[in-house]
Amino acid sequence: MAVATTTVAETCAAAKKAARVLASASTEAKNAALEATARLLEERTAEILEANAADLADERASGLTAALRDRLALSAERVAAMAAGVRVVAGLDDPVGEELEHKVLASGLDLRKIRVPLGVVAVVYEARPNVTIDCAALTIKSGNAIVLRGSHYAERSNGALAAIVREALAEAELPPDAVVLLAGGGHEELAGLATQEGLVDLLIPRGGEGLKAAIKEVATVPVMYAAAGNCHVYVHAEADLEMARRIAVNAKVQRPGVCNAAETLLIDAAIAERFVPAVLSDLREAGVELVGDERARSRARGIAIEPATEADWDTEFLGLKMAVAVVDSVAAAVEHVNRHGTGHSEAIVTASEDAADEFAAGVDAAAVYVNASTRFTDGFEYGMGAEIGNSTQKLHARGPIGMRELTTFKYVARGDGQVRE
């Protein structure tokens, strides 16, 4: 049974015990568990979809926004994508044991800096059941155990997926408690998880500001926040305008309910008369609700765009809504991004290398794109196979949290009898 029926402390203790075994497991054993996971996902797609349909039909999911229901919903294609992602992780190099540095000290000690697992990683997440598989795959391959705490309204989906991974671990003769799932309990359970010092080595919350605030109030274990994404696309005066239209629409529309979707479009004043009506027309045709500053609205040529409030510039809409502003320069765009952005993903569209360099150097973000959509900030797209989230922190990881971000290091010194004088 994947869903824990014991206390949070007992569950974390079981994961800690499993982590010690997994830390020294061979790459072959870990890959066998991942391959078994991918196979079982494919074989049991119907069961997974049945559990997911029950979650979607449950009254606990009735009040979800369209964006959250999209995150919760699974399909045969999404399950197949999970299996493919697991196989990609299996095919990646094992980070455990990687030699980061090697030198011989003046004492004659042979000193090596070696990559090792963190131990027990706990992840708190909302809505998306695929996170269960992504997180489990990354932690297994990186030699960590994981404690998963999903949303109460995704309980059946997460339970079905976690049970598959636990079965795969057992098949590979690895401890099933390397992956444990807490039922979606209330704040007491969350506080219990965030205070498991000595058992939980890292807690990663994936969710909104309310979740972050709740954890900040109580956490005594190390926390790495998978942050919100108030992302921007800036169209520079020297942009290819057809390219800029494609990028702006893709960044907003391709999947609006995710953290790397663009929420604000910044347009250089030098091209605003030509570009504003064209791109607003594209966005409106795609169903996007538009709000903007007076400079953007005055150039809309009859296209519906409401006045933007001050709060709009700081809002992660997670849906088909976008704020639009006209700015005077690269410096003004950078200033706007740094004032309102969350440090996630920012894009500039320009043919000018100087403008691209100024923007990339100036914005304080985990990912910066030149002539590309913000939608590429993703562990799978970055060749990590999957991700646990995207960190906007600067210690110890930034950007997509993949396998190497789930490791630390130790120094191993070999001598032949040295003592320090």
| pLDDT of 308 strictly over 80 | yes
Is the pLDDT confidence value at 240 over 60? yes
Sheet containing 289-292: which strands, arranged edge to edge?
306-307, 289-292, 321-327, 262-268, 231-235, 345-349, 367-370
pLDDT at 4: 46
The single residue listed with the structure tokens 């976008």 is 322
Per residue in 326-336, pLDDT (tens digit) is: 999 999 999 99
Q: Determine the 3-state secondary structure of 57 from DSSP.
A: helix
Q: Is 82 exposed, middle or buried (0-12, 13-18, 19+ CB in 10 A)?
A: buried
Q: How far apart are CA 152 and CA 224, in angstroms?
A: 22
Q: How confident is the model at residue 383 (pLDDT cuts 50, 70, 90)?
A: confident
pLDDT tens-digit readout, 94-132: 999 999 999 999 999 999 999 999 999 999 988 789 999
Q: According to CATH, what is the number of the domain 231-376?
A: 3.40.309.10
**C-alpha dist (Å) from residue 178 to 2, 139, 244:** 11, 9, 46
C-alpha triplet 404, 376, 86: angle, nearest 5°? 50
Mean pLDDT (whole number) for 63-78: 90
- pLDDT over 60 (residue 3): no
> Most confidently modeled of 67-71, 212-216, 321-325, 399-403?
321-325
Confidence of residue 88 (pLDDT cuts 50, 70, 90): very high
Q: Which CATH class is domain 8-226+388-414?
A: alpha beta
| Residue range 349-354: mean pLDDT, rounded | 98
pLDDT for 247 beyond 70? yes
Query: What residue has token string 């605003």?
Result: 272
Asked whether the predicted pLDDT for residue 417 surpasses 90, the reply is yes
Q: What percent of the chain lies above the pLDDT cut of 70? A: 98
pLDDT confidence of residue 184: 62
pLDDT of residue 5: 56
Give pLDDT tens digits for 193-232: 999 999 999 999 987 778 888 899 999 999 998 778 999 9
Kindly list the domain boundaries of the chain, sorted by start residue. Answer: 8-226+388-414, 231-376
Structure tokens of 291? 């709000």
Q: What is the pLDDT of residue 365?
A: 96
Span 228-257, average pLDDT: 96
pLDDT per residue as tens digits for the range 136-192? 999 999 999 999 999 899 999 999 999 999 999 999 999 999 999 997 667 788 899
Q: Distance between CA atoms of 413 and 262, rounded to whole angstroms?
A: 48
User: Structure pTM?
Assistant: 0.86
Q: What pLDDT, in 10s, does the model give residues 270-291?
A: 999 999 999 999 999 999 999 9
Per the model's pLDDT, the better-predicted residue between 2 and 223 turns out to be 223
CA angle, residues 293, 298, 301, in degrees to nearest 5:
125
Q: How many CB atoms lie within 10 A of CB 20?
A: 14
Full strand arrangement of the beta sheet holding 99-104? 99-104, 110-117, 407-414
pLDDT for residue 316 is more than 70: yes
